[in-house]
Amino acid sequence: GIQVEQSPPDLILQEGANSTLRCNFSDSVNNLQWFHQNPWGQLINLFYIPSGTKQNGRLSATTVATERYSLLYISSSQTTDSGVYFCAVDLDFGNEKLTFGTGTRLTIIP
């Protein structure tokens, strides 16, 4: 099956810092989503981004489908950004089951 790897596995930053999270996948994908899982366990949609670049406030994401990777950028980090960030992909046009990456645990220190 497809392999989805994220790096770094853990990241500790001071409030206000910027960060880049990476997601590599081993096969062509139909869909890619980025999620933030907050400390209470809720998975929050950040981006639906099978290709190209999107921005939403302090967050932006870029997927280069031909090179099989995606990047999530977080600028001016806040403590509320803490949690685990997952990328997830689906392979099949018509079956949207997601395969999740290994996750990046982000901790923002005040």
Partner 1 sequence: GAGVSQSPRYKVAKRGQDVALRCDPISGHVSLFWYQQALGQGPEFLTYFQNEAQLDKSGLPSDRFFAERPEGSVSTLKIQRTQQEDSAVYLCASSWGLALNVRDTQYFGPGTRLTVL
Residues 31-70 that bind partner 1 (CB under 8 A): 31, 33, 35, 40-43, 45, 48, 50
HEC assignment per residue over the chain:
CCCEEEECCEEEEECCCCEEEEEEECCCCCEEEEEEECCCCCEEEEEECCCEEEEECCEEEEEEHHHCEEEEEECCCCHHHCEEEEEEEECECCECCCEECCCEEEEEEC
Q: Which is nearer to partner 1, 74 or 88 (CB)?
A: 88
Q: Which is nearer to partner 1, 15 or 92 (CB)?
A: 92
- Size of the residue set binding partner 1 (CB under 8 A): 24
Using the contact rule CB under 8 A, the part of the chain among 13-21, 62-70, 73-81, 83-91 near partner 1 is 83-91
Residue 87 beta carbon to partner 1: minimum distance, rounded to whole angstroms: 9
